[in-house]
Amino acid sequence: MKGGKGTDSGALGGFFAVVKDSRLILSVVGIVVVSELIGIVKIPLGASLSIALFPMLYAMVLGMFSYFLKVVKKEQSQKAENMILLAILPLIAKLGMSIGPSLSKLSDMGLAILLQEFGHVGSILIALPIGLLFGFRRELVGMTHSIGREANVSLIAERYGIDSDEGRGVMTIYIVGTLLGTLFYGLMVPVFVKMIPSLHVEAWALASGVGSGSMMAASSGALSTVFPDRAKDILAYAGASQVLTTATGLYMSIFIFLPLTNRLYAWLSPIIGKKKDEEKTYE
C-alpha cells in the first residue's frame, strides 16, 4: 500500500499549518466550548426509550455552520483535515489502556470477537443488490465493500484510482459517513437496542467498533446511557473491537471483502443491474 509516510507527513504538515492559523484555532476552541457546555441531552420517546445527543454531534453541526457562514474558509477546512489522524490518537491510546484490565473478560468471548469482523459481509450482500436496482454500477464496489474510512479510501485509490467509478463510490460513503455516521449511531443505537432486546450488551458493544473512532465513540456512548451499570464493559468491548478492526480491517478488505464484492457484482450486474452502453469488467 502507498502512503504510509505520506499520511504521517501530511498530518504533521497539517498540524504546523493549523497552529499558525489563529482564526481557525479560535473557531475550533469556540465550537468545543459551546458543545461541552450544552452537554448530553436526552430526548424521551416513551416510557422506556430515549435518544441521546452528544457534544460530538453539536460540534459537527456548528462546524458545518461555521463553514457555510464563511467563518472558516475552504483553505482552512482543508488544513484541518490533516489533523484528524493526530486528533484521534489520544482516543486510540485510551482504548488500549481500557482493554488491558479487561483482557480476561475479552478472552471469554472466544471466537466472537474475531468473527465479528465478518459483519461487514452484510453490507455487501444487502446494499450491493439494492444499489444495482437503483441503477448504480461500478461505484457500488467502492460504496459497499466496507464502511469507507481512510484506509479503505486509500485501498480503492491505489487499486482503481480516486477518479474512477470505484473511487467516487468510496468517497461518497466517506463523506456521508463523516457527516451522518456519528449522528446515525448516536441516535439509532438506543432505538435498535429497545427493538431487539434479545441481543446481549456485549454484542452491541462489539458491533460499535466499526473502524471509525467517532462512530465508535457515539455508539458506545449511546449504549452507556442505556446500560449505565455496564459502561466500563461497553467501552472495553467496543475498544477491543475498534482496535481489532483497525488492525485487521484493511487486510480483510484486500483479501476477502473487495474480491467478494467484485465477484458478487459480476454475478448480479447482468441479472438485476440496469444496463448502460459501456461496462468495464474488473477482477
Give, for all 283 residues of the chain, the pLDDT tens digit: 444 444 445 555 556 666 777 788 888 889 999 999 998 787 776 555 556 677 877 887 888 888 888 888 877 777 776 676 566 667 656 656 655 665 665 566 666 666 777 877 888 999 999 999 998 999 999 999 988 877 788 788 888 887 789 988 988 887 787 667 777 877 788 888 888 888 888 888 888 887 777 778 778 888 888 888 988 888 888 888 877 776 677 788 889 999 999 999 999 999 987 665 444 444 4
What is the gyration radius of the CA atoms in the chain, in angstroms?
Answer: 20
Per DSSP, which regions of the chain are E strands? 41-44, 50-53
Domain match, 136 and 189 both: yes
Residue that finishes a domain, picked among 23, 49, 82: 82
| Nine-digit cell string for 105 | 473478560
Residue that finishes a domain, picked among 45, 67, 82: 82
Domain match, 130 and 33 both: no
Please report where in the chains the cell 463523506 appears, as a residue.
Answer: 175
Domain match, 66 and 117 both: no
Domain match, 187 and 222 both: yes
Nearest to 23 by CA among 64, 68, 73, 63: 73
Residue that finishes a domain, picked among 62, 82, 102: 82
Number of domains in the chain: 2
Domain match, 166 and 145 both: yes
- The Cα 279–Cα 118 span in angstroms is 29
Domain match, 196 and 110 both: yes
Domain match, 6 and 121 both: no
Domain match, 112 and 144 both: yes
Show the domain range for 43: 1-82
- The Cα 15–Cα 36 span in angstroms is 23
Sequence-separated (6 or more) residues with CB below 8 Å from residue 134: none
Distances, alpha carbon 169 to alpha carbons 17, 181, 185, 264, in Å? 30, 16, 21, 16
Domain match, 30 and 143 both: no
Domain match, 31 and 123 both: no
Evaluate if pTM is beyond 0.85.
no
